[in-house]
Amino acid sequence: MFSWVKALDAFFERSKIRYLGLGLLLAWVYCTWFSVGIFPAGDEAAHTTLRDSLAFSAIGLVALVFRRNKEKPLGPSAILCAAIIVTATTFAFFVFDNPAVLLVASALGGLASALLWVGWGEIFCRIDPTITESCIPSSLLAFVVASLVVYLLPAPVSGILSALFPLLSCVMLLLCNSTQPEDFSFQTPREPFSSVFPSLVKLALCSMVCSIATGFVTTSVTPEITLFDASGYLPAYIAGGVVAGAVSLFTIHHASRLDFSSLYEWAIPLIVASLCCYAMDSEVLNTIALVLACSAALYAEVLFLVIFARITAIGFCLPSETFGIFRAAAQLGFMLSGILSMWVVASGIQHLPICLVLICISVVMLPLFMHLQRRFEAAPIQEESKSALPAHNTSTPQDEETDAISRIVADFKLSAREAEVLG
């Protein structure tokens, strides 16, 4: 481990700030392409480089899913090199305007960013689950603060700061890794990856719906048809980060348990309200639609990571598999939403039917989430039941009744009072 990393780690020993670096990585994405620090407002290069970066990042994430030695976390040297490449290619957007050069920079930056996304996923699977469940939502705070600073600074200073976010996130990631044993290996999954892969893909495709629905609004509602000015995208994401953070805190403290279906239940109102406001098409409602879409996008993008870490913790698969598949699906969903938005504009059709279709799909996804969620809960419940049985079957009817009640409480998310009445 680098000596300077250990020196910084001593400074942050009693704080959890280092676990919030995921928010800076998010800030790099949104501040680079949704502010005017690097690309001027309305610059077509911003759209093309974002699309190319998302595509190549998804390719890199899928490659990490099938890499060798997945039981070993990514090394600090690989993470640092990836951060340097991402920062360098982001700076290239300042210097060059040649389409071929921008394509190469977007491709290299996208591929390298995949290592940073998976690196954060692996660290959240190695630390205490309580820290994971508190620090992942808190990353939204780091995102809001970093984005607000970028928004308040003039260009090109704000663009330079945006380009440095991957390096800052890398430093915080290395600080987190410095507290972990260097010879650490993740536990061998309970099932072969070939048997878990179809369920992971289905669940990832369901979560992709969030990216497509919210991305359609954020790519279709331009600042000119809202109350924001020409740089309105970043303020909308800042406001969305605040709303997403508030909803995240409420969800974590009031949900009987955290799983995909319970988190998606809170994302649906944000998605549906956003699409409805955009369908009514007025300046005020477009502004509300944009903020709500940004909120839903950040909420799903951050909160779902808690469940990805939990799936890994119970031994279904390795972090690079879980985070690689889901992050790739989220990025491809946003890229597809941009293509859908351009098709709607080019064809001249009304956006109202598209909004209605996306609303229906978003609502229909909930039972599918619940169905797929049981796939990831069945095996742990069975193993816990087996481990709870004594060596000789001496269980009493009262024990069996208590076990049955516990399963019902878990399946139907009963409150403590409802569980008491059921007993």
Which residue, 183, 207, 227, sits at the end of a domain?
183
* Residue 138 to residue 21: CA distance in whole angstroms: 10
CA 325 to chain centre: 11
Give the CATH number of the domain where residue 146 resides: 1.20.1250.20
Looking at the structure, do residues 69 and 115 belong to the same domain, yes or no?
yes
Which residue, 138, 165, 183, sits at the end of a domain?
183
Looking at the structure, do residues 138 and 275 belong to the same domain, yes or no?
no
Task: Sort 169 into a burial class: Cβ within 10 Å, 0-12 / 13-18 / 19+.
Answer: buried
Residue 414 has a pLDDT of 66
Residue 288 has a pLDDT of 94
Looking at the structure, do residues 354 and 306 belong to the same domain, yes or no?
yes
Residue 4 has a pLDDT of 59
Looking at the structure, do residues 167 and 197 belong to the same domain, yes or no?
no
Q: How many structural domains are present in the chain?
A: 3
**Domain encompassing residue 127:** 1-183
Residue 80 has a pLDDT of 96
Looking at the structure, do residues 152 and 217 belong to the same domain, yes or no?
no
Looking at the structure, do residues 409 and 305 belong to the same domain, yes or no?
no
The reported pTM is: 0.84
- DSSP 8-state symbol, 78: H
Which residue, 183, 209, 233, sits at the end of a domain?
183
Looking at the structure, do residues 224 and 351 belong to the same domain, yes or no?
yes
- Mark the ranges of the chain whose per-residue pLDDT is less than 50: 11, 14, 380-395
Residue 7 has a pLDDT of 60
Residue 193 has a pLDDT of 87
Q: Where is 191: in which H helix or E strand?
A: none
124 with 176: CB under 8 angstroms?
no
Residue 387 has a pLDDT of 46
- Token pair, residue 311, equals 């799936």
| Count of Cβ atoms closer than 10 Å to residue 404 Cβ | 11
Looking at the structure, do residues 126 and 231 belong to the same domain, yes or no?
no
For the stretch 353-407, pLDDT in tens is 999 999 999 888 877 777 777 766 655 444 444 444 444 444 455 556 666 777 7
Residue 214 has a pLDDT of 94
Residue 196 has a pLDDT of 86
Looking at the structure, do residues 379 and 400 belong to the same domain, yes or no?
no
Looking at the structure, do residues 266 and 254 belong to the same domain, yes or no?
yes
